[in-house]
């Protein structure tokens, strides 16, 4: 094999009080590749991430991670208690054994949150919080990014930028990315490999192939005909990471919904 | 000043030093109920110590450490982890201890001293023990501060990033158990949690970093201790409750001050 494997699941099964959460799930994560999990609520997407990260033990099957694998994780639900005074800078740096302002700043610049470093974590908006979480995941040069719905709370314009950012990080640093996402049309644009999950793996493959698969169409319907797939319109401006209006760049060609 | 006041002040200072470092985490981790359970069960240790006629401190420590480990198990098994179960453990131990004390035939037991503390009765040995434990606590806290903070912010994130969740949680719980052993003499088992959470909650208003919040909690704890002792000596009121009244007074007082942090 030419590319080294970062992590894999083999025939993983999990039950919770007689209810099947996962059945016979296998997957492999490679460097410089985005693997996206999609599926309805309760399909077990977050659980798969937790099994892969070692946070949850499966009932059957095996979990393998490359020895010494460095992981950056963005959890699905993050809420910081109001009673804990913590600045964004300290929050991102918590990952390090010894605080390193320069490294923290560098990661914050990478996700466009360097202006928020002095702010208390509790004052962040949903979209800002996701970028801060991503910055923390990027600290300490991870080999694998595990992102559980990185787009939650991010507005539509910010969303496509966020996925572009993840894509760019993958290309620049060669990270392997395993993520859960609900933003179907963006997933289809940004992923190398899509895994459609409903307790078991319904279908998988390149985004174009998955979006035509009968199992996928049964779960999500046909985005092209259902009218879910968003009306397409052109913007005469776009918003940068801070929500400021910036001129539309030609290369990005913002045509989104 | 009389000797007993010095002893009380010295023991009190060491206890406040411990409660400052531990109390902030009790708030951040929403574990106030754990503090109650642990301190209530100390009375069972007292009863066992008096019944067997052996060292009281050791029994209290033993019971508190056992309850701490039991709670740790409960915490890591979400199916069991409910306030109900904690309430059952803590109150059962408190009731059992109280009932057991009445069965002691020959010893006159001052139950109030255990329930509400008797800081003016501490011995030089108590002072030495309290400071010894306070130094031990600070040494351990210096080691676990960062991982414990990461854990309080988000346990799973910390675990993925390499924090040994179980070990860090266990050391924290054991430190509370040790603190209960000596703090019991200052404020008693019923009001012990107040000493942990009220100065910490008061400090939140002025703190922008976790470390400053802990240091401020200690400063406020010292203020409450001194104020409480003055009230107690002047008005001849029970000292433990007076200290807690002073801490509560400070908490209410700062709510009127302008807020500096977000």
pLDDT at A153: 81
- B101-128 residue pLDDT tens: 888 776 677 888 889 998 988 999 999 9
A37 - beta bridge partners?
A180, A195
Q: Assess contact for A70 and A227: CB atoms under 8 A.
A: no
- Which chain B residues are within 8 Å of A50, Cβ to Cβ? 156
What pTM did the predictor assign? 0.86
pLDDT tens across B72-99, in order?
887 777 665 567 888 888 899 999 998 9
pLDDT tens across A79-107, in order? 999 999 999 999 999 988 888 999 999 99
Query: Would you state the pLDDT for residue A144?
Result: 95
pLDDT, tens only, A221-244: 765 554 444 434 444 555 555 544
Share of chain A above pLDDT 90, in %: 44
Q: What is the DSSP string of chain B?
A: --HHHHHHHHHHHHHHHHHHHHHHHHHHTT-HHHHHHHHHHHHHHHHHHHHHTS-HHHHHHHHHHHHHHHHHHHHT-TTT--HHHHHHHHHHHHHHHHHHHHT-SS----HHHHHH--GGG--HHHHHHHHHHHHHHHHHHHHHHHHHHHHHH-HHHHHHTT--HHHHHHHHHHHHHHHHHHHHHHHHHHHHHHHHHHHHHHHHTT-SSHHHHHHHHHHHHHHHHHHHHHHHHHHT--HHHHHHHHHHHHHHHHTTSPP---
- Indicate yes or no: CB of A55 within 8 angstroms of CB of B156: yes
Using a CB–CB cutoff of 8 Å, tell me whether A173 touches chain B: no
Choice between A221 and A128, residue whose per-residue pLDDT is larger: A128
List of chain A residues whose C-beta atoms are within 8 Å of the C-beta of residue B201 = 83
**How many Å lie between the alpha carbon of A76 and the closest alpha carbon of chain B?**
10
Give the mean pLDDT of chain B: 90
Of residues B146, B160, B213, nearest to A85 (C-beta)? B213
Considering only CB atoms, B210 lies closest to which of A78, A85, A97, namely: A85
pLDDT in tens, B231-240: 999 999 999 9
- Which of B 23-42 lie inside 8 A of A, CB atoms? 27-28, 30
Cβ distance of B262 and A78 shorter than 8 Å: no
* A75 at interface of B, judged by CB pairs closer than 8 A: yes
Q: Which ipTM value was assigned to this complex?
A: 0.86
Q: How confident is the model at residue B217 (pLDDT cuts 50, 70, 90)?
A: very high
How far away is chain B from the Cα of A53, in angstroms, using its nearest Cα?
A: 7
- Give the pLDDT score at A13: 92
- Chain A nearest-CA distance from B153, in A, is 6
For A82, name the nearest residue in chain B, comparing CA atoms only.
B28
In this prediction, residues B198-219 reach a mean pLDDT of 95
The size of the A-B interface in CB pairs under 8 A is 66
Is the pLDDT at B26 greater than 70, yes or no?
Answer: yes
Residues of chain A neighbouring B208 (CB-CB closer than 8 A): 85, 87, 120
The stretch B143-163 carries a mean pLDDT of 94
Site from A94, A119, A134 to mutate, B interface, most B CB atoms within 10 angstroms: A94
User: Residue range A149-154: average pLDDT?
Assistant: 86
Q: How close A78 gets to chain B, by Cα (Å)?
A: 7
- Least confident residue range of A33-42, A150-159, A169-178: A150-159
- Chain A positions touching B152 (Cβ under 8 A) are 81, 84
């Amino acid at each position: 094999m030419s590319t080294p494997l970062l992590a894999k699941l083999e025939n993983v099964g999990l039950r919770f009080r007689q209810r099947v959460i996962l059945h016979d799930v296998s997957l492999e994560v490679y460097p410089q590749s985005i693997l996206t999990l999609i599926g309805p609520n309760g399909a077990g997407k977050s659980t798969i991430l937790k099994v892969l990260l070692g946070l949850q033990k499966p009932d059957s099957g095996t979990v393998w991670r490359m020895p010494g694998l460095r992981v950056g994780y963005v959890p699905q639900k993050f809420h910081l208690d109001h009673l804990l005074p913590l600045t964004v800078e300290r929050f991102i740096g918590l990952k390090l054994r010894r605080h390193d302002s320069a490294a923290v700043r560098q990661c914050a610049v990478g996700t466009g949150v360097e202006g928020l470093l002095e702010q208390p974590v509790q004052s962040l908006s949903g979209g800002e919080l996701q970028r801060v979480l991503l910055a923390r995941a990027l600290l300490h040069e991870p080999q694998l990014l595990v992102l559980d719905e990185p787009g939650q709370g991010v507005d539509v314009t910010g969303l496509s930028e966020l996925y572009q950012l993840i894509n760019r990080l993958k290309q620049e640093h060669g990270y392997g990315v395993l993520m859960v996402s609900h933003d179907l049309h963006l997933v289809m644009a940004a992923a190398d490999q899509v895994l459609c999950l409903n307790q078991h793996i319904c279908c998988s493959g390149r985004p174009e192939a998955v979006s035509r698969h009968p199992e996928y169409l049964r779960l999500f319907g046909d985005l092209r005909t259902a009218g879910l797939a968003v009306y397409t319109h052109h913007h005469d401006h776009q918003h940068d990471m801070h929500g400021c209006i910036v001129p539309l760049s030609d290369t990005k060609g913002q045509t989104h919904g | 000043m009389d000797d007993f006041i010095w002893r009380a002040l010295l023991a009190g200072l060491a206890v406040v030093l411990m409660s400052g470092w531990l109390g902030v985490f009790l708030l951040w981790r929403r574990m106030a109920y754990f503090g109650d359970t642990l301190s209530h069960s100390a009375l069972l240790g007292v009863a066992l110590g008096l019944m067997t006629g052996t060292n009281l401190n050791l029994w209290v420590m033993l019971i508190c450490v056992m309850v701490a480990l039991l709670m740790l198990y409960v915490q890591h098994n979400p199916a069991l982890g409910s306030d109900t179960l904690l309430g059952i453990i803590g109150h059962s131990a408190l009731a059992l201890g109280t009932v057991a004390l009445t069965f002691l035939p020959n010893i006159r037991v001052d139950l109030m001293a255990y329930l509400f503390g008797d800081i003016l009765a501490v011995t030089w040995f108590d002072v030495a023990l309290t400071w010894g434990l306070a130094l031990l606590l600070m040494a351990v806290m210096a080691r676990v501060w960062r991982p414990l903070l990461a854990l309080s912010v988000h346990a799973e994130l910390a675990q993925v990033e390499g924090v040994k969740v179980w070990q860090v949680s266990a050391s924290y719980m054991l430190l509370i158990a040790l603190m209960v052993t000596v703090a019991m003499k200052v404020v008693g088992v019923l009001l012990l949690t107040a000493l942990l959470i009220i100065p910490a909650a008061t400090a939140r208003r002025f703190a922008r970093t976790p470390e400053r919040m802990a240091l401020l909690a200690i400063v406020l704890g010292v203020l409450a201790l001194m104020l409480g002792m003055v009230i107690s000596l002047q008005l001849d009121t029970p000292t433990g409750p007076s200290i807690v009244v002073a801490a509560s007074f400070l908490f209410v007082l700062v709510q009127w001050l302008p807020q500096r942090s977000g």
